[in-house]
């Protein structure tokens, strides 16, 4: 566990962010490897089916992701304040509501998979494979919530290395299984879904065994868990806005996918591949922001708010430098990256166009996430939620619809960076007011 309240701010943030960065890359590799194997062994229709499934999955799990993030912030602040009793209660509470939410998500996902896909006007040739993939994937929701909840708790305690180790094991298992199930057994998209489910299950099982034997605070068992209403209320206060934000963003992504679907299988497949590459490319920005968020949470909990500004500058320098390099690599090697997934030249051309436009604005995205990370670390999640939703629903989606009618699919791609620009402007302006510091769980009247 890392104490982020003492020592050089930039070094601490980097040391905490590096394992998280690697972990997020391996997390994305689950879907990236699936897409590469499916695209090469089955074809662009199956590739489009898997790509169209992920916004639906995100819609089903987005609220619980937000609540877990809220609990992580509560844990980081109590840990910074040295209140280990409250830390343990927060962990127990998270496991209880994650189990309930996972059960609900499984039933809802299996039931609503086809109606949602039809509502999005998914091309009929893609529908059977997308439906099959979703229904298998949703059978693993309890495993997904359990493993990701455990990883989030460890990060709240300042431990970003342990989740990485189990994630690496899961990713390697997924690579082996998806090649086996899809490439050798020829199970189609079902094989890709089964490989992800089994790999997540292996990672979670190993995490349970290891934590129960070695960790002082975390014990994963059905018996002995205690639900703390006060901790849950605090987690709701902090996490509900983020969960609502994630949910509305998920619906926004579905709306964008609905616009993409109107352009046919080639554009859907290109968007699916480019979005996978895009998701990998923005991981450094998201990781540094998440590390900075925990840094802010612990230092506010320890009543060391003077360290936040120095940490902010360091986070911006690190995240910005990596992001600029990433942008250059994407622009130069976009075609080659698309070739990893498919040999269809039309799909490659459309996907590379997306990557060139969107990657040119990664620095804007990185800055926006850093400023919002500061707010979330303090417990201020409502304002970032409003900014994100405004940028998505009032800027990006209407602009994507309008421009796509004028310029084709290119208009959808341009709408994304325009939304980021507005999001950064709002986030920076609110950060400068300093009001976000007053939302901390642990109060110190003299500074807050």
Residue 445 lies in a domain: no
* Residue 259 in domain: yes
Residue 447 lies in a domain: no
Q: Which helix (H) or strand (E) holds 425?
A: helix 409-433
Asked, for residue 3, whether it belongs to a domain, the answer is no
Q: Is residue 4 domain-resident? A: no
Mean pLDDT in each 10-residue stretch from start to end of the chain (448 residues)? Answer: 80 88 82 91 93 87 80 81 83 87 91 91 93 94 87 77 85 94 95 94 87 73 80 83 78 92 94 92 93 87 86 95 96 95 95 97 96 88 85 95 95 97 95 80 49
Q: Give which of 286, 417, 317 is closest to 364, Cα–Cα.
A: 417
Count of residues in the chain: 448
Number of structural domains, the chain? 1
Q: Residue 392 domain-assigned?
A: yes
- What pLDDT shows up at residue 82? 82
Residue 88's pLDDT is what? 83
Nearest Cα to 177, choosing from 200, 204, 148, 155? 200
Q: Which two tokens stand for residue 326?
A: 């990433």
Residue 448 lies in a domain: no
* 364 within some domain: yes
User: What residues make up the domain containing 52?
Assistant: 9-439
- Which is nearest to 411 in space by CA: 424, 428, 398? 398
Res 44: pLDDT: 93
């Amino acid at each position: 566990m890392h104490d982020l309240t003492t020592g050089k701010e930039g070094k601490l943030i980097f040391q905490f962010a590096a394992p998280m960065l690697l972990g997020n890359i391996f997390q994305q590799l689950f879907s990236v490897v699936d897409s590469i194997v499916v695209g090469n062994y089955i074809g662009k229709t199956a590739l489009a089916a898997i790509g169209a499934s992920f916004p639906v999955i995100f819609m089903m799990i987005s609220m619980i992701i937000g609540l877990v993030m809220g609990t992580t912030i509560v844990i980081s602040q109590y840990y910074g304040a040295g209140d280990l009793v409250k830390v343990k209660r927060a962990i127990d509470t998270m496991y209880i509501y994650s189990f309930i939410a996972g059960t609900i998500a499984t039933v809802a996902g299996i039931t609503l998979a086809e109606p949602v896909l039809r509502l999005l006007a998914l091309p009929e040739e893609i529908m059977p494979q997308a439906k099959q993939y979703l229904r298998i994937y949703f059978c693993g929701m309890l495993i997904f919530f359990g493993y990701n909840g455990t990883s989030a708790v460890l990060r709240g305690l300042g431990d970003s290395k342990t989740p990485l180790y189990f994630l690496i094991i899961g990713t390697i298992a997924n690579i082996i299984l998806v090649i086996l199930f899809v490439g050798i057994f020829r199970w189609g998209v079902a094989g890709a879904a089964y490989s992800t489910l089994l790999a997540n299950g292996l990672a979670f099982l190993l995490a349970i065994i290891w934590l129960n034997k070695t960790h002082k605070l975390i014990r994963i068992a059905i018996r002995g868990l205690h639900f703390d209403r006060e901790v849950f209320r605090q987690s709701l206060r902090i996490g509900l806005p983020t969960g609502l934000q994630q949910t509305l963003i998920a619906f926004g992504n579905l709306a964008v996918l609905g616009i993409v679907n109107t352009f046919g299988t080639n554009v859907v497949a290109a968007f699916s591949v480019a979005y996978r590459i895009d998701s990998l490319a923005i991981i450094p920005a998201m990781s540094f922001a998440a590390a900075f968020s925990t840094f802010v949470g612990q230092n506010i909990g320890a009543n060391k708010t003077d360290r936040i500004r120095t940490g902010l500058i360091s986070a911006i320098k690190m995240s910005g430098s990596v992001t600029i390099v990433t942008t250059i690599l994407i622009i130069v090697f976009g075609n080659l990256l698309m070739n990893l997934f498919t040999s269809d030249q039309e799909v490659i051309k459309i996907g590379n166009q997306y990557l060139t436009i969107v990657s040119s604005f990664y620095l804007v995205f990185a800055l926006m996430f850093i400023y919002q990370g500061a707010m979330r670390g303090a417990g201020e999640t409502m304002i970032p939620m409003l900014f994100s939703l405004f940028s998505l629903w009032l800027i990006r989606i209407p602009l994507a619809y309008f421009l796509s009618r004028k310029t084709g699919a290119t208009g959808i791609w341009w709408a994304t960076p325009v939304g980021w620009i507005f999001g950064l402007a709002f986030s920076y302006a609110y950060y400068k007011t300093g009001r976000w510091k007053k939302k901390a769980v642990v109060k110190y009247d003299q500074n807050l």
